[in-house]
Structure 1
């Protein structure tokens, strides 16, 4: 897969490490990680915008929707993958709100995700492609 820049926002260190390794296994090596929205802001400030953010906008550990609005307002990401344990009906409403903010939602998947769930979503990004 072409070199996508991905930011993982996951409050649980074990899941964060697992997702990072999963993305590496899918051929994505420019992975930025954050356990909090404060860390995510810092990562984006230091390293610049990303192609895809993977997060749970409904996580009780952080203000996911506020963070997503910030991403859209400042052009810090072009797309989002929702990784959440919320009910599908709830996620549909959240996805609609995110898309209204201007971010493209590549899809949603239950947490924890598997490579077979993430891979097709990642391939929907215009910058995705075969390994050079």
Structure 2
């Protein structure tokens, strides 16, 4: 039982270390957005980044462990194309889905790996 607790602690500690890299990148993206965009463009930018985070994180969570990686590329390409077709200020935000989706995909992927590792630790302890 003590070995199971140590394994779970190690898995949680490793998860904290692995998720810190995309989390720092996400924080940097937020700082960049707030410091570089005018206040009038900030609400649409937050909407675009929020949608990209939601979609990219979901794709990373469901396909990150083994699955195909083409859905994240399709999502980024579609988001960029749609924003390029819209009028200002949306057209100026066309490049925002790229880093937001990439960071969210990495976060979702790490959460999927954490879930898998934690499940394996629990199933090994039951044997």
- Taking structure 1 as the reference length, the TM-score comes to 0.26
Structure with the higher fraction of residues in strand conformation? 1
Higher RCO (CA-CA < 8 Å; seq separation 6+): 2
- Taking structure 2 as the reference length, the TM-score comes to 0.26
